[in-house]
Amino acid sequence: MLTVTGAHRVLVDPRTERDGDVVIDDGSEVVTTLDVSGCVVTPGLVNAHHHLLQTAFRTLPGTRGVPMADWLPTMAAAYGRAGHDPELYGLAAAAGAAEALLSGVTTIADHHLNWPSGVSTDDTVALAAATIDAVRGLGGRLVFVRGSARDDPERAAASADAIATGLLHERAVGGVDPDGGLQFAVGPAGVHSDGEATFRALGEVAERHGLRRRTQANEQVDTAIALERYGRRPLDLLDEWGWLAPDVTIAHLCDVTDDEIARLATTGVTATHAPGCDVPMGWGVAPVAKLTAAGIPVGLGTSGGGSNDAGHLLADGRLAMQVSALVGPQLPARQVLGMMTEGSAAGLGRPELGHLGEGTAGDLCVWDVSGVADAGVADPVAGLLWASPGRRPRHVVVGGRVVVRDFRLVTGDEREITARLGERLARTPAAV
C-alpha cells in the first residue's frame, strides 16, 4: 500500500485536478508513505515513440540537421562499428530507461528498427529479451515494437512471431502481459523503407496474436520517397496496404494535408507527435491542433537519441508548445500534458495508463514546485512544462512501487549504468 500525503495538487488526468491524498493498493501489506507537500502529482508519463538503441549513439558527427538520406547511413555505420549483441542492446536500453524514469516516464514504447542481417530468429529473440529485461529490471513498463527497416518480410514476420510466442506471458491479452509491465507490438519503419510485403506480413502477425501496429509516416522525406517510388503519398499506400485502422498508431505526420487529416479521422488511427526529433532535424512540425480538432488522439514521443539526443519527455512537451504556433494555435500546457499521459496511452490501447484513481495502473510522478525555478508561477500545472526545461520528478511510482525517491533512482545506479555503456562502446565485440 502506497500513500502520498501533504499539501499538494493532484491531477487525476490533465483536465481534472483536486487536493488530497493518493492511495495505491499494490497488494502489499507494507504501507509506504511519501510526503509530497509543495508538489504537483501527475499520472506517470508515457513516451509513445522511442528508439532505445539510439541512446548509445547520441551527438554523432554528421547526424544533425541533415537530410534523412544522409542520416540513415551514418547511423547504420555507427551500429555496424559497435556490433549487434544482447550486451549492447541491454546496456543501451538500461541507460534509456533510467533516463526515462528520472524524467517521469513510467512507460516507454520502443520502436526497435535495427536488426543485424543474417542472424537466426533465435538471435533476434535474444536481442529483444535483453532490451525487455533491462527496462523491466529498473521497474519501468515497456512496449516493445518489433520494427523493420528494409528487413526481409518473411524473416521479419518469423522474428516477430517468435518474440510474441517466446517472451509474452501465456496469459497475455492483446499483446499485454498480465502485470502490464510488457506489451508487444509490430511496425515497419515506414513506406520509405519497407514495401507492401513487409506491412502485410507483420500485419498478419499482429492479427494472429492480437497485437497493436505502429509505423511512421509523412515526415518530408517519407512523402518525397513515396512520391518518387510509387507516385503516391504515404497515407495512400498505408490505406491500400491495410494500415489505416483503429489498432494503428502513426508517428510524426508532419507533412499532412487537411484532406488527409479528415481521412485519418475516419479510420480511427491514433497519432504521435515527436517534435524533439523532427524540429532539430528540420523534418517538419506536426499540426497537432488540427489533428486533435478532427478527433484524432495524439500522444507524445521523444524518438531516439540519434535525432533527439535526449529522452526527456517533459522537455519535449515544452518544445511542442513552443513550435505549435508555427503551424496553428499555440497548444495549452494541459493539453500537452494530456498528450504525454492519456494521449500516448490511447495509442497503446492502454486506458489504465495516463490516469490516477481506481482501476488505473498506479503509476504516478511527484513534481516539486516549491523551488526557485517555480518562483512567480501563477499556474503550477502550466509551470511544470514552461518553467523548468530540465525538470526532474521528486518521486516516481510504477504500479505502487517507488522507483525514484528524492530525485534518485532506487532500482539502479545511474552512474554505473552510464559507465558500463561507455565501456561497451569503447570495445569492438565479436561480429554478430
Residue range 27-42: average pLDDT? 80
Least confident span in 124-128, 222-226, 242-246, 298-302: 222-226
Close Cβ partners of 120 (under 8 Å, ≥ 6 residues apart) = none
Q: In degrees, to the nearest 5, what angle opens at C-alpha 286 toward C-alphas 195 and 191?
A: 5
SS (H, E, C) 160-215: HHHHHHHHCCCCCECCECCCCCEEEEEEECCCCCCCHHHHHHHHHHHHHHCCEEEE
Reply yes or no on whether the pLDDT at 432 is more than 50: no
Q: In degrees, to the nearest 5, what angle opens at C-alpha 21 toward C-alphas 19 and 23?
A: 140
Close Cβ partners of 187 (under 8 Å, ≥ 6 residues apart) = 111, 145, 146, 147, 148, 202, 213, 214, 215
Model pLDDT for residues 366-389, shown as the tens digit of each residue:
999 999 999 999 999 999 999 999
Model pLDDT for residues 81-97, shown as the tens digit of each residue:
999 999 999 999 999 99
Reply yes or no on whether the pLDDT at 429 is more than 70: no
Bridge partners of 137, per DSSP, are none
Bridge partners of 3, per DSSP, are 23, 33
How many helices and strands, by DSSP H and E, does the chain display?
15, 18
Residue type, 198: T
pLDDT at 225: 92
pLDDT band at 36 (very low <50, low <70, confident <90, very high): confident
pLDDT band at 6 (very low <50, low <70, confident <90, very high): low
Mean pLDDT of the residues in the chain: 93
pLDDT band at 431 (very low <50, low <70, confident <90, very high): very low
Question: Is beta strand 105-112 parallel, antiparallel or unpaired with respect to 401-405?
Answer: unpaired
Give the H/E segment covering residue 332: none
Residue type, 417: I
Residues 169 and 58: their CA atoms lie apart, in Å, by 34
Residue type, 28: S
19 SS3 class:
strand
Q: In degrees, to the nearest 5, what angle opens at C-alpha 313 toward C-alphas 310 and 316?
A: 80
pLDDT at 326: 95
pLDDT band at 72 (very low <50, low <70, confident <90, very high): confident
Contact 42, 384 (CB under 8 A): yes
Close Cβ partners of 385 (under 8 Å, ≥ 6 residues apart) = 314, 317, 318, 321, 333, 336, 337
Model pLDDT for residues 141-177, shown as the tens digit of each residue:
999 999 999 999 999 999 999 999 999 998 999 999 9
Residue range 350-379: average pLDDT? 93
pLDDT at 189: 96
DSSP classification of residue 173 = B
Burial classification of residue 50, based on how many CB atoms lie within 10 Å of its CB (0-12 exposed, 13-18 middle, 19 or more buried)? buried
- Least Cα distance to 102 among 313, 341, 409, 411 occurs for 409
What is each CA distance from 265 to 261, 295, 297, 338, in whole angstroms? 6, 6, 9, 19
Residue type, 32: T
